[in-house]
Amino acid sequence: MASGWRAARLVAAGASMLAVSCGGKWTAQDSGAEMPDGAGGSAVTGQGGDAGSAAATACTAGEARCNASGRRETCTGDGGWSVSDFVCAQNVAVDDDVGSYCVTKADGSYRCWGDDPGGALPAERYRRVQLTRQGLIGLTEDGRLLAAETLLPDGLPPAASFRATNMWGYKGVCPLFVDGSFAVLLDRTPNPPDDGVGPTMVRQVEGSFTQAFCVFEGLGAGVRPDGSLWQLFRDETIPGEFTEVAFSGRIFCALTKAGGIECFAPEFTCGNTGIAACAGPEYPEFSGGPYRSVTATAGAVCAIDAEGALTCRRYDGADMPVPIDAGRFTFIEGGSDVLCGVRTDGSGACFRHGGGYFGEVGPFVPIEPALDPGW
């Protein structure tokens, strides 16, 4: 780990709740590189076969999926698979501070919707791009974190994933590095700049993680290699056999190795946010399953099961309706009042619910303009 970025420590400041913007504009960037047939791009997890095997598996006419090279395959009338030129989405990044969202495709290109303060990312192939209140941040295919406006330390080790959000009133970028270490990078540059204040403070979390990230107002959590859960807000560990954690300012849930979902009383945030609704004893409960992924917005927890079906619960445990024709998903991510996902056919979809950190939480409805069709 490079000593140049380890030296500084995070200093917590006062929290301030910021308004969520629903407006915005499209920001897009091509990958700058063609995907050759049968190669290129990042694999889309759990989808499809090889690009050259159009008739490898019998199927139902009209069915669509993504192959391991990130191309969409469509089932033909004779029960075989035909490879198209459509490049599948590999993830959608939702900013839990402002509710913007970006889809990144298997060829490294991306498209974002939200209020962009300006500045472009370098022309690279990206694994994930997020649009934040302080501009675009991207993770390249070779593990480099690049930002258009946010200042990042020099000499960061390769990252496996990241999440950017508001941390104690400053822009925070929380990377999980490929060696399992996790850090909170805090851009504390004043406006206008002051030579007496350093651009970035860092809090390096002790130990190793298989998953870790942070969310709005200084909260963080992760999964340890032994399956236990770590919490930044309490700096304590919950024992168990967990594989994935999901949380927001009002919800804390985790996916177990067996495919179940356990949610914990959300009182941990009440002293931080001052939200009176946190005091209720109820929290989401999930039956059925097994589930394979879980995420959270400011007012709901959502999970996809082994068949890709989407189920959501409000923070108080009530059912959270989703559009009946939402589809089946291989990936989901939530933040603010927005839920986005990647469908089994490689298209991206986003939904917004009423309420959020304040007010009554209503059902999810599709967001317009949509991420697809045609891109």
CATH of the domain at 270: 2.130.10.30
Which residues contact residue 78 at a Cβ distance below 8 angstroms, ignoring those fewer than 6 apart? 55
Residue 357 domain flag:
yes
What is the arithmetic mean of pLDDT over 252-280?
66
User: If you search the block for the tokens 């990936």, which residue do you land on?
Assistant: 331
Compare 2 and 356 and report the one with higher pLDDT.
356
d(CA 341, CA 339): 7
Residue 292 Rama label (left phi>0; alpha psi -120 to 50; beta):
alpha
Confidence at residue 270, expressed as pLDDT on a 0 to 100 scale: 43
Read off the tokens for 262.
């356990």
Give SS3 for 279.
helix
309 neighbors 69 (Cβ within 8 angstroms) = no
Give SS3 for 5.
helix
332 neighbors 310 (Cβ within 8 angstroms) = yes
3-state secondary structure 137-175: EEEECCCCEEECCCCCCCCCCCEEEEEEEEECCEEEEEE
Q: Give the C-alpha distances (Å, rounded to integers) separating 142 from 27, 125, 126.
A: 23, 9, 9
Residue 289 domain flag:
yes
Instruction: Give phi and psi for 291, each to the nearest 5.
Output: -100, 155
How many CB atoms are closer than 10 A to CB 290? Answer: 14
Q: Percentage of the chain surpassing pLDDT 70?
A: 76
Could you give the angle at the alpha carbon of 74 between the alpha carbons of 68 and 76, nearest 5°? 135
What is the arithmetic mean of pLDDT over 83-100?
94
Residue 21 has pLDDT above 60, yes or no: no
Residue 375 domain flag:
yes
Residue 258 has pLDDT above 60, yes or no: yes
Residue 167 domain flag:
no
User: If you search the block for the tokens 């399992």, which residue do you land on?
Assistant: 180
- At 174, which helix (H) or strand (E)? strand 170-177
Which one, of 160, 158, 66, lies nearest residue 107 by Cα? 66
Tell me the residue type at 275: I
Q: What's the total number of domains in the chain?
A: 1
Asked if the peptide bond before residue 122 counts as cis, ω within 30 degrees of 0, the response is: no
Q: What is the mean pLDDT of the chain?
A: 80
d(CA 264, CA 256): 13
Residue 44 domain flag:
no
Residue 33 domain flag:
no
Burial 59-97 (b: 16+ CB within 10 A, else e): beeeebbbbbbbbbbbbeeeebbebeebbbbbbbbbbbb
Model pLDDT for residues 217-231, shown as the tens digit of each residue: 888 999 999 999 998
Read off the tokens for 102.
């970006």
Confidence at residue 273, expressed as pLDDT on a 0 to 100 scale: 38
User: If you search the block for the tokens 């649009």, which residue do you land on?
Assistant: 131
Which ranges of 197-259 would DSSP assign to H, the alpha helix? Answer: none
Question: What are residue 102's DSSP bridge partners?
Answer: 93, 112
Structural domain range at position 290: 243-375
Measure CA 91 to chain center: 8
What are the strands of the beta sheet with 300-305, ordered from one edge? Answer: 291-296, 300-305, 310-314
Compare 34 and 141 and report the one with higher pLDDT.
141
Residue 6 domain flag:
no
What are the strands of the beta sheet with 145-147, ordered from one edge? Answer: 126-132, 135-140, 145-147
Comparing 13-22, 102-111, 304-313, the range with the smallest average pLDDT is 13-22
Residue 346 domain flag:
yes
